[in-house]
Amino acid sequence: MTMDPRVIGVVGAGAMGAGIAQVALRHGHKVVMGDTNDVAIARGRAAIEKAFQREVEKQRMTDDQAASAMAMLTLADTSRGMDPFAGCQVVIEAIIERLDIKQQSFRALEDVVSDGTILATNTSSLSIASIAGVCDRPERVLGVHFFNPAPVMPLVEIVPGLRTSPAVVAEARGLVDGWGKTTVAAADTPGFIVNRIARPFYSEALRVYDDGEADMATIDWAMREIGGFRMGPFELMDFIGHDVNYLVTESVWTAMYYDPRYKPSLTQKRLLEAGLLGRKSGRGFYDYAEGAAREVPTTDREAGERIFHRVLAMLVNEAADAVHLRIASAPDVELAMTRGVNYPRGLLQWGNAVGPERLLGILEACHAASPDGRYRPSPLLRRCVERQTPLPT
């Protein structure tokens, strides 16, 4: 483990903050991890120490390396201010997804850090421009979005704001690349790449269910068995938690001016309102109580193919639109969805394998049945069909 002279600050000692701190420590940085909650700080430190101990047990670190890494961690109570981050060259904020609290934190950070310090937010869906807009030096603010758990998940979305300096983007991306992560560049739009493009995996599965086309177990079976996904959408929503998954969907929908393409489902909202959050609460779409009977899917291959291709058509359409709207390059879209959410294939490549014309036909048929704009085809998808060219990958 080579020492890196840059000191990394992490604001927030929750699961994400502690995970980011662990990554930085593992790559030879001194790290200042701060939080306003003493319990969170203690829990975060314990999680990092436990993770390093597992690394020792798996012979990926020595005892001395683990001890040295922990010795480079400084814990800080930030309830009285951000002074502990004064000596940091990079500060990554990983706190609650509330714009007002993030803005307050960035204003406070600017009062104590040096002019050359990079300020990054780990937000998954909030506007970088809004966070940077309260800063005196917005050119040094950007999004550096890790996926949970940060030490394990390889993808990091790098998101410049409208006024972020290209040099800051290059330095931040180089730093994270040096941590062994796969970085992709995303425009500052709701959901960035992954949380925007992945929405139909959940929302279209819910629409199939709400339309009475199939039950949840059958939809999950179709996406696993025919689509090759590791988990079906209802299983995955229960795993993520509806307090997270639904709120991301609602955030993207409202930020996109209530575009029907991103409209949430009342079925999921009712679970959230009832406190049925999924695995973490013992019940969500499925009952996780000991001995609870699991729903049995209808394993009709033809029906399963229809379900899978309907959801896939929406996913590919969203990926094509991301390229069309210059949210990300085609290669970065493919990387983001395979490395960020472990899709079996890049969506654009998958769309070419199934056939853009076939997917356009599915979207047009759905639009004819529900002409509210939800199923409008991406101009890029339609253009590729008209010109008989493949989607860019």
Instruction: List residues with catalytic annotation.
Output: 124, 145, 157, 195
Strands 155-160 and 182-185, by their bridges, are parallel
Helices (H), 82-141: 99-110, 128-132
User: In sequence order, which residues have a C-beta less than 8 Å from that of residue 71 and are 6 or more positions away?
Assistant: none
Taking residue 250's Cβ as centre, other Cβ atoms within 10 Å add up to: 17
Helices (H), 135-188: 166-178
127 φ, ψ (degrees, to nearest 5): -70, 125
Could you give the CA distance from residue 66 to residue 114 in angstroms, rounded to a whole number?
Answer: 30
Could you give the CA distance from residue 132 to residue 125 in angstroms, rounded to a whole number?
Answer: 14
DSSP E strands: which ranges in the chain?
8-11, 31-35, 73-77, 90-93, 118-121, 141-146, 155-160, 182-185
Joined together, the tokens standing for residue 310 give: 């309907």
Residue of 153, 277, 294 whose CA lies nearest to 221: 294
Spatial strand order in the sheet of 31-35: 73-77, 31-35, 8-11, 90-93, 118-121, 141-146, 155-160, 182-185
User: In sequence order, which residues have a C-beta less than 8 Å from that of residue 54 and are 6 or more positions away?
Assistant: none
